[in-house]
Structures are given as structure tokens and as C-alpha cells.
Structure 1
């Protein structure tokens, strides 16, 4: 990587050579230009595989412990499933990126986190009216460390309070997200 740092270390800037397109991608690695998501996003779960498979020389060995992108299950060489590394709200089986569907998915992920087995999850889903494919997707996401594409402050606050076991989502140097704040449909910044 050190040998290729002149390529790998370059990032898009507001006043970059590509003008407005590069300004839109500020902070994203320039090796992503013309590839997936450019210039609108630069998700780490997309950049890392691109770096590993398309940018570095084939002789450079890079760990690849999961599926590229987010929300896909993958098995080891021994056919053991890896835990899901991140949840992609764009693939939410309860209604995509609709606000109420996102809130419901967060609640279901929290419920699934408490399930001792797939059988217990199925029982919960049957009682809740969730179909098997929805149930399986939510069960697979029960312990994800990252959720991509939450858009509203209320979604972030709910996820933090019931998935992080943090009943009072306060940022030490930021505002308190109280009931009045979380009920408002203001746009939140999507970091994922």
C-alpha cells in the first residue's frame, strides 16, 4: 500500500480538478471516480472491496471476511454463516426507506436481538404477522453493529435507545434528543 499511496491517498476536494462532481464527493477516495456510488456516496463497505479487488496489485493479500456491500449473508469456506456486518435500510423488508417502516424495522431488530433461537424468532414473527422471508432477514440482522441509511433524527434516536441500550441518547457535546426533537421529521445527516 505504501508504494501505491500516491494513488490511494488522494481524496476529492471542494476545489478539485473535476470541479462540481469532485466537490460533491469531498473526502471520498479519488480511486472511486467512475465506480459504484461516485460521486454521491463513499460507503466504506463499498470502498474497501474496490480497493482490495480493483486497485491494489493482485499480489497484495487483503482480508475479505464478509460480503461486499451491506445486508448480504455470506458463508465461510466451511459453510458456516458469518454474522451480518451491517444492516442496509434500503433493503428493509418492512417497506424500504419509509419513515414508519424504518421505525418498525428498528423495533423488530431489537426484538430479534432478544431471541434465543430461530424457532423463537419464528414464533414471534407468526404472532406479529411477519412472513418468513421478512422474519429471516430481521433475524439475520439482530446483532448488526452498523445500520446504513437512517434519514431522520427520530430513527437515529430510536435505534440508539433500544439497540444500544441507551435510554437517554445524549451527545456529550451536542443537543439532547428529547421527545419533541425525535418526533420532528427533520432530515438527519446520513453517514453511511
Structure 2
């Protein structure tokens, strides 16, 4: 191996470049992305021990190519970053968050999204009962039972879309009095893939 010689500040010749520099007269700076802060070679600037996560090339001077990240750029971005932004070249995280339908650190987890809403076919039934103690009325409760149906309801899980479209019955108990309520049903399913 050939020694790299450089001229020092007082005009004398020194035998080796300082850490962080390389080449003839040590005029070039290392990338600063060698693995574990190891020095680059004094002759070529290469990182013999490899690169930090997020960097590539023999001298670790280039960020991972688009849609790749991590050690040796082997991580593949999810492709679900909001506004189709590229993921972070080091961590794979989407800088502005995930597209609708995805969640998680790397935007790889499906999240249920609203597929359709239904405001018809809602039937409500109101029942009441009284709570007595020693023949004295303590409370009067109302039970509201609602039956929701969808026009295209099925009795099984839709295996193609992964959507459960069964009819539903919902109920709640509350003190009786003046009541007003709005009921909207929603069909939820996994995000687009």
C-alpha cells in the first residue's frame, strides 16, 4: 500500500493525512457516513467497514436510492407516505405521515376507512322500565334498541373486500326524559392496497 504524503502548514512533508481527509495532499474530505464513525481510507476515501444506515457507495457519500432505506439500503419503503413523498432514507418513516388507510411507524399497517354511510333502514324501538324501592319510584329508565340494515347485507364476511356487511342491533339504557338523537351507520373496511 502506498503512503499518502501531504504538506503540513509549515511547508514540511507529513507522512499521513489527518482523519477525515484523503488523497493527494489530503485535499478531499471523507463523507462522514462511514459505519460507526470509522475513518475512511487515506488513499481513496472509501469506507472499508461499510456505511451508516441510509447511505451507500464505496465512500458512503450517496443517500439510499428512492424508496429504499436503512443498512445497506435493503429496506423497502411502504409506498404509503402522504402525497407520495419519499420515506426517510435512514429510518423508512414517512416525514409527513401516512396516506388514508394506513398507519404505523412505516405506514405499513392497514387502517379501516369509511367506505360508505347509510342513513336509511334504521328502526328504533323505545322501551321503559321503572326502578322501585319499597313501593316508591326511584328512577325510570328507557332502553333504546336500534336495528340497522343494509340493502346489500350478507350474513358472512365479504372475503373479496374484507368488509363485514352484516346487519346490526345496537342498544343503550338511559334516564327517560326528552330525547333527541341522530343515528348514522357507517360501513368500514381496510384501506386500499
> Could you say which TM-score interval applies, normalised by the shorter chain?
under 0.3
Q: Structure 2 length normalisation: TM-score?
A: 0.23
User: Would you tell me which structure has more strand in proportion to its own residues?
Assistant: 2
Higher relative contact order (CA closer than 8 Å, sequence separation 6+): 1
Structure with the greater alpha carbon radius of gyration: 2
Counting helix residues as a fraction of each chain, which structure ranks higher? 1
